[in-house]
Structure 1
Amino acid sequence: MMESSYFAFALSVFTGFFAIMNPIANTPVFLGLVEDSPQAQREKIARTACITAFVIVTAFVVLGNVLFSVFGITIPAFKITGGLLLFYVGFEMLQSKKSNVHHQGEHAEVDDGVAISPLAIPILAGPGTIVTAMSHVTSTNLINNAIVIGMFAIMCFLSYLSFRMSNIIVKKLGQNLIIVIGKIMGLVIAIMGTGMVIDGIKLGFLK
């Protein structure tokens, strides 16, 4: 029974990360940033971006409760604000816009610094990703926290593979299908955001 509960939790976390990070939809962004770079540099940029994103989100997962205490953030307030943020990101994705919250600076100069910004921050480890991670660890145990970190590690690895094979993915799927996938993920994110707002209201006002 406990194992099935952890599996359901892991599946929920993975779905949330996949929707907000969407490795497939991010491949055209990656290509746009590194199109003039040799393959070896592309792989280095992809690897650095994914490792950096993993370190950032893991730090928030591990130190999340401490940050809450230091800044006096309540769980209901976090869920409501985070839910509104996720809904905004998803709504813009449904309109085929790249969210100002989650995607920035796509025309940055092509060098290794691109791996840190905008790839690691905010494309992979943007506010939406951090909100998704912390929403699962604010009041859970160490096993659940480890599951969140593990699921994010898997997502970072999938993102790395997508970046490495970005030319093939875009060529095989086509830009139109990638846009459709992005819209579906946008709907999932908007629904998740609405759910977080409802949970926050229940926690804060309906005790």
Structure 2
Amino acid sequence: MDTGFFITAFVTLFVVIDPPGLAPLYLALTHGMDAALRRSIAIRACITAAILLTIFAAFGEAVLDFVGISMPAFRVAGGILLLLTALDMLFDRRSKRREDRAEEEEHPDPSVFPLAIPLIAGPGAIASMVLLSGQKPGIEGLALVIAVMLSVLVLVLALFLASGMMERLLGKTGINIVTRLLGMLLAALAVQFVLDGLRAYGFAG
């Protein structure tokens, strides 16, 4: 195994995916849900992200080209969708919707969006998988890149599952404060996604 490439790839994906930064977001998005539901959401999000990133590692930009989507367009769309989630967090719309649907059995499921896409498997992670798999062509290189990605997602899952301890430490007031702060950060991240996409098209300076 190419140890140098493994370390480089791991550091790249770790920085891009940012497992420590995702844990508070997961906590905010699943606030008020029972432990079993939160655990299933964490597992579903990581599995969905793993499948998506594996597809892009194997087929690269051909997947986007096949459906006629460019990476800049993917960034803009992901940014807009993420901005809507951020606004919900900032203005506490998610809590109000939960109260309105208190008698319903179903909960909003953030596992696919926005956790798996675009927070875990965002444009940056997808682009990194495409570039890394291009550096190591062949089955062995692909297997190595996927192994690196899975190791990072294991860390993501571990931090997600440990977030309940964080919730108990912060309490309800602390969670509300953190949710709004993270909503602001998510909004900034969403705008950055959009600007990156527009810049790639030459629409932003």
| 1:159 maps to which of 153, 156, 161 | 156
Q: After superposition, where does 1:1-207 map in structure 2 within 5 Å? A: 13-18=13-18, 22-33=22-33, 35=34, 37=36, 43=39, 46-47=42-43, 49-71=45-67, 73=68, 78-92=70-84, 94-97=86-89, 109=105, 118-127=109-118, 129-138=121-130, 141-143=134-136, 149=146, 152-173=149-170, 174-175=174-175, 176-201=177-202
Q: Which runs of 4+ in 1 moved over 6 A?
A: 105-108, 144-148
SS of residue paired to 1:118: coil
Amino acid paired to 2:165: I
Unaligned runs of 5+ in 1: 99-104, 203-207
Please list the CA deviations of residues 162-201 of structure 1 after superposition, one character each: whole Å capped at 9, or x if unmatched. 3322321123242112431342243134224312321243
Superposition RMSD in Å: 4.3
Q: State the alpha-carbon separation in 1 of the partners of residues 85 and 53 from structure 2.
A: 22
Amino acid paired to 2:77: L
Q: CA deviation at 1:121?
A: 1.8
CA contact (8 A) 1:83 1:192 kept: yes
Counterpart in the other structure of 2:94: none
SS of residue paired to 1:22: helix
Normalised to the residue count of structure 1, the TM-score between the two structures is 0.59
Q: CA deviation at 1:142?
A: 3.2
Amino acid paired to 1:168: M
Counterpart in the other structure of 1:102: none
SS of residue paired to 2:60: helix
CA contact (8 A) 2:25 2:182 kept: yes
Q: State the alpha-carbon separation in 2 of the partners of residues 132 and 57 from structure 1.
A: 11
Amino acid paired to 2:75: G
Q: CA deviation at 1:160?
A: 1.7
Q: State the alpha-carbon separation in 2 of the partners of residues 192 and 160 from structure 1.
A: 24
CA contact (8 A) 1:60 1:130 kept: no
